Structure 1
């Protein structure tokens, strides 16, 4: 639910304070000082800077200023703010030179959306529902997560105020019941949070104190047991009898099996700990009835289930176990035992008021209930509705922690100015003579005649047909329906169709007033609306297409690009006002709750689409006169990127690739990839079509892949876990000659180069050696290059400024070694702090030696003519490659970044 909140943000810094436009202050200031001021930024430019800083908020205290400068510049580039990235890169840091390399562009989720106010973290699982309220004068967000907790947050400070275990944990299996839905409501001026779980249990908490307010009775019945009374049944099957006038407990009966009327008395059949069934008179609380020993149980000649018992006076009685009535003329000897039927194991039959109530089985804990206690006698049923009627008022029954009763009047009593339903507690009073049963559904809290937003069903109904039923967000008709708003002077609801469309209607199933343009490409999961003073009516919607969209309901148009920041599905969204500004609160599968200022700038461009899984391999090519990068992801797609802009250059192609490279056939680029099952494929990069059938390589696993020209013909080189190196013709898929053998362990790295005009492959292995091969003849060149004392893991080749070839290798021995491949001589050894996971050589300037790029985890280290510099990325780096113009392409998790050298 939403709350209108008039609360002033801190005003420590004026929105136009030049500090936000000073990159040196941003880089060198104490992170705690910057953090305290982030929420004061309201100018669009300042908000963008604050959002960039906030994206790596936890990392800043651990970073030196020069590292913070690099991280902030990269973050700005990830969100398309290249001008801001350039200003940050040039920020002066005392005693530290400007970095030699900088991000030209980067892909990534646009978590720096300037509308993002803050991210609330604390849940240990996906957050599935969110609502807002005001408690104690504070604006709050309340969230429910798959970690089975409910949390309350102060929207102004971002602090967590309360956390509750929102559902029951089974003591035997240790499994926790799943939370399904969340709502807030105000009762007698006090804000409450309400949740329901997969067992149907509805719980309430007082949001001001954080204390539990109670649990709603699942089943409620009005009866007369000498006085008007309410019957409720707990989740564990315990039956409670209440005086609704005094709100006190009259009696409690555990493990109730059924209730009914016997001889005019309301009774309950309960299961005793010893497995027997006892019958309790609910008016007095006393047990009635007696146990009779069963002589024989089975079927009589008419096929009826019967049992014969012996009375204390020695007489034998036969009972019809379906009706519970005695059969005076039945023959006990005519009872036949039916093989396999558990009835024959019955030992005790309980009789109350001349009626058989239950039998107990000797080998089972649970008794078998017999006889219809309610049925044709018109008595009450055990599984009654959730609400009761007091006169014309429909009430919900809340069992408080102090074992007292509270009745919440659900009769529509109006809404607060922000639309939040205002409920009342029914004061204690004299017994109501017309205490009755309500319908099985819960209250319809209408705001206008003909409109039926089901706020209460948000909590009570849980899930229906696989979708979250959330009153203002769900129902049995459209996929979701909003709470009410006013459109052109008429009350309206925003209803969602299963195809992702949104339509403004007079009611959920009423006439359409307006249709919003196509936005979501999959089902809308949650939708909310807001009528805020001095602002047009707004809506926010989240769909299974993983987008969150904001709509201006006056123009029927989206407000800017989708809200981008959550990593994964957004399960819920709601609207409120904070300091008079329309604000959205969203709940995501990334375990976070996020707060958005919708009165701020609305970026026209959304996040850059990209891989949804880690990038495992990449290469570059020139296609139709355009330089591109091609990436293979764990999401089973190949994607093509424009190297100049970082934007997608083509539609993704379904494919799995463990390694890939490019070459040319008849002047056209082709893509060669090795699949996880060691198959070699040659594809047209534009269409993704195979040029011929995939070819098994025989490697077991292809661990490395490279391309070269041999006599002006393309050749592909593969290396694998079978300890061999193989050559292939990419035009036909045929193997060229025999496998190249010599390594005594798996071959993990391949690089190609030219030696005196001859095409050569260099291979590195777990046997700690590097070998050179003549690709024309397939013969080894000289002796293996030795020196590493552990597995060789990466290789890279390039040329020096005078054209001489150079080869570098890294190994698990934490060294980098530079070789002269023409002589096989080791030129240098460089110790490494960590084993390198990827390596590349790039030459940004023809007059300078190659720059060596090494990665370990999220860190990229560049060594060359400038002082070494380290770049920290948001995700582990799985691949990198030099580009033809001397830049460096880095794959970090599912994202890409292009680094330029200074002056490029």
Structure 2
């Protein structure tokens, strides 16, 4: 069986019978993902929708766990509206009832752990095409763009995030990468051996190195060009062979340089193009003497700060620089004169943070741009005509995009996303495709999920994303309504409560607004806003039923907690210090508010007065950033908390004692919930998610890992355990919304 799993695709390709009947939904979870990717790169194209979806989960597939592979593929099939029943494994844990999740046409090749800041591509001496990524974790990693496999060990040495990487080929054929970090260090590595060649002495820089580029001079020397984040310094040039500083490749800038690119002009000069956000100008410099060519193009009034930069020479035209702005526009600059050329290219909604250029197989020159709106767009050069509008990750911004050519003359865009994913887009197919529309959550995804049961008995799900509140049918997953959230934007939390008069009301808050918006779900109308005294916004929200029958809204924002009467808007108690919060009813019937603090403690407070009702619980060694309340099978009420110490802890709210072992949290934007499984023992599980895109299960009582993780794409920002038609389910919020049942053997 292992031999078949590893080599069946190779033999089928050799025999010319590799097709969708072999690469079926039943077989793919068992396949060796790296080997199959390598085979598919050399074989005749297999046009199959299931295989295309598998390419989006193959980076997370593990040889030793085909059940987890099956669950990841099943989730993707359900998101695409295809039958997931064919993907079955006796060890499967995650079973989707419905999935409302976007499906892209890209291939996810790899994921840099902890998040990605920078990316470049290179071709190693033996022809291997790789992506080089710089991460939040301070490491530099190399990935095979065909198989997705890591190449060598991570390159370590930086003590902070790696903000910039750039590759180059030296005169002796060695392929190197230059890495710049927030720690102000610049390092040069041999990509074939992983050897550190140089640690360049660039001096102390405020906020470190922002951008790096490489350039080849007419005499064959290859230079590293270093730009600082904030200082009004020239771009400095270093010889990559000797490690010696050579010259200043530019003059001084009004502020820090936000982007660099270098190229050779037809007259043999090597020029550097720089962007500076302070005066919204792009400048062209002669690298060897540091003199400016022409004047900075006057983009003031037509554009915002400049952040993206790439260079190319279109057919029958002058060499140009492609410049992206924070107002979403893209501009062309003639590198021979330093003047702007053509009209602005309009198509992005937010900052264009990265750009590159490519030549398609039909000879067309194109620019590829991406940014904070999640869109990857392609433009014809030099006409500036938009060729496509593809939406990439809906849960994180595109940090870097680069183009390269893979085997078979396939020209691709390689996108590095903030969530750590490395994604491949086929540029030839984008040039002939239509705009991809997704009426989903986009722009960093769902951040809040709540449920309610209406007086009619219908169970609904409410989701919050930016300024949009949506209501979904919990049973079918059908969209019921888009609520006009009004002035509330950047939604951070939603909760629901049944008021004493029987109305079911949704409470919606924003991290950017000090008001809480109230919506009557029974009559489907707004019932006003509750204005709090939080200076910045309301980040956490819960309700509590007080002993006198009143419903109280407990809010947290700017480090303080308050209690409000939602009917009158009056402040009932507070403010007191605190952060994440939840409310509960103890076994003796007393209501309690549990509030997480920056010092890692959990404070138990009376929700009517915010007076302490017990000693603080020592839960974490760093700030608490997520909190849930749950009931164990033996009746104990517990607080489940996640902290910036990367741990999940469980505490009995009656005794104050910890329950079970410490559980590791995973990645930024940590989310958690609990769910009780059916059966005689009624096991309570803790469900955790985060920036690494996996959802994990833990036994709440013991802290032991349960089952296997579910691999998704992007951040998992919201989790909620509930019941669907009497069956425990987990609602998963991220790029979309999903309802999953958990089954353990």
Query: TM-score, structure 2 length as denominator?
Result: 0.56
In the aligned structure 1, how far is the partner of 2:11 from the partner of 2:170?
25
Tell me the CA shift for residue 111 of structure 1.
Answer: 9.7
In the aligned structure 1, how far is the partner of 2:417 from the partner of 2:285?
19
| Aligned position for 1:882 | 722
| 8 Å CA contact 2:374, 2:397 repeated in 1 | yes
In the aligned structure 2, how far is the partner of 1:565 from the partner of 1:681?
26
Change (3 A) 1:702 1:595: closer
| Aligned position for 2:225 | 195
Gapped runs of 5+ residues in structure 2? 1-8, 111-128, 139-160, 253-261, 287-294, 300-305, 596-603, 621-626, 642-647, 665-670, 690-694, 701-705
| 8 Å CA contact 2:162, 2:180 repeated in 1 | yes
| Aligned position for 2:30 | 28
In the aligned structure 1, how far is the partner of 2:454 from the partner of 2:57?
37
My pick for the range that moved more, 652-661 or 619-628, is: 619-628
Indicate the SS of the match to 1:684.
strand
| 8 Å CA contact 2:630, 2:639 repeated in 1 | no
In the aligned structure 1, how far is the partner of 2:672 from the partner of 2:650?
12
In the aligned structure 2, how far is the partner of 1:142 from the partner of 1:692?
54
1:899 aligns with 2:740: yes
In the aligned structure 2, how far is the partner of 1:593 from the partner of 1:560?
19
Q: Give per-residue Cα distances to partners, 1:115-143, cap 9 Å, x unaligned.
A: 999753355234446567698889x7956
In the aligned structure 2, how far is the partner of 1:162 from the partner of 1:19?
45
| Aligned position for 1:860 | 697
| 8 Å CA contact 2:553, 2:566 repeated in 1 | no
Correspondence 1:647-658 to 2 at 5 A:
649=482, 653-654=488-489
| 8 Å CA contact 2:284, 2:296 repeated in 1 | yes
| 8 Å CA contact 2:106, 2:425 repeated in 1 | no
| 8 Å CA contact 1:27, 1:91 repeated in 2 | no
Tell me the CA shift for residue 497 of structure 1.
Answer: 7.6
Tell me the CA shift for residue 881 of structure 1.
Answer: 3.5
Correspondence 1:63-142 to 2 at 5 A:
64-74=65-75, 80-83=79-82, 86=84, 90-92=87-89, 96-99=90-93, 101-102=95-96, 104-105=98-99, 107=101, 113=107, 120-123=132-135, 124=138, 125-128=161-164, 130=166
Q: Give per-residue Cα distances to partners, 1:453-503, cap 9 Å, x unaligned.
A: x961238x988846675789x9634556742313xx666857658543346
Q: Give per-residue Cα distances to partners, 1:206-253, cap 9 Å, x unaligned.
A: 6xxxx347543349xxxxxxxxxxxxxxx9xxxxxxxxxxxxxxxxxx
Change (3 A) 1:663 1:468: farther
Change (3 A) 1:200 1:163: farther
| 8 Å CA contact 1:684, 1:691 repeated in 2 | yes
Change (3 A) 1:32 1:873: closer
Correspondence 1:406-425 to 2 at 5 A:
none
In the aligned structure 2, how far is the partner of 1:862 from the partner of 1:458?
55
In the aligned structure 1, how far is the partner of 2:640 from the partner of 2:340?
69
Change (3 A) 1:144 1:542: farther
1:583 aligns with 2:404: no
My pick for the range that moved more, 648-657 or 18-27, is: 648-657
Tell me the CA shift for residue 168 of structure 1.
Answer: 1.9
My pick for the range that moved more, 518-527 or 141-150, is: 141-150
In the aligned structure 2, how far is the partner of 1:552 from the partner of 1:647?
41
Correspondence 1:349-364 to 2 at 5 A:
none
In the aligned structure 2, how far is the partner of 1:130 from the partner of 1:675?
39
Correspondence 1:503-902 to 2 at 5 A:
509=339, 512=342, 516=345, 518-543=346-371, 545=373, 547-552=375-380, 556-564=385-393, 567-571=396-400, 573-574=402-403, 579-586=408-415, 596-600=425-429, 604-605=436-437, 608-610=440-442, 612=444, 615=447, 618-621=449-452, 629-631=461-463, 639-640=469-470, 642=472, 644=477, 649=482, 653-654=488-489, 660-663=495-498, 670-672=505-507, 681-684=516-519, 691-694=528-531, 705-706=542-543, 715-716=551-552, 730-733=566-569, 750=583, 795=629, 809-810=637-638, 840=674, 852-855=684-687, 858-860=695-697, 871-872=709-710, 879-882=719-722, 885=725, 886=727, 888-891=729-732, 896-900=737-741
| 8 Å CA contact 2:106, 2:426 repeated in 1 | no
In the aligned structure 1, how far is the partner of 2:481 from the partner of 2:363?
37
In the aligned structure 2, how far is the partner of 1:752 from the partner of 1:502?
56
Change (3 A) 1:679 1:860: farther
Q: Give per-residue Cα distances to partners, 1:556-576, cap 9 Å, x unaligned.
A: 333351444994352564566
| 8 Å CA contact 1:182, 1:196 repeated in 2 | yes
Tell me the CA shift for residue 49 of structure 1.
Answer: 4.0
Change (3 A) 1:185 1:849: same
| 8 Å CA contact 1:810, 1:835 repeated in 2 | no
In the aligned structure 2, how far is the partner of 1:586 from the partner of 1:508?
29
1:476 aligns with 2:297: yes
Correspondence 1:90-239 to 2 at 5 A:
90-92=87-89, 96-99=90-93, 101-102=95-96, 104-105=98-99, 107=101, 113=107, 120-123=132-135, 124=138, 125-128=161-164, 130=166, 144-146=179-181, 148-149=185-186, 165=198, 167-170=200-203, 178=209, 180-185=211-216, 187=218, 192=222, 194-198=224-228, 199-200=233-234, 202-203=236-237, 211-212=241-242, 215-218=245-248
In the aligned structure 1, how far is the partner of 2:330 from the partner of 2:515?
47
Indicate the SS of the match to 1:542.
strand
| 8 Å CA contact 1:575, 1:582 repeated in 2 | yes
Q: Give per-residue Cα distances to partners, 1:613-667, cap 9 Å, x unaligned.
A: 994x53125899997533568xx87743645268994677326756732447999
Gapped runs of 5+ residues in structure 1? 1-9, 220-234, 236-382, 385-419, 423-443, 448-453, 740-745, 779-783, 799-804, 819-823, 825-830
1:51 aligns with 2:55: yes
In the aligned structure 2, how far is the partner of 1:538 from the partner of 1:677?
39
Relative contact order (C-alpha < 8 Å, sep 6+): which is higher? 1
Change (3 A) 1:193 1:56: farther
| Equivalences, count | 590
Larger radius of gyration: 1
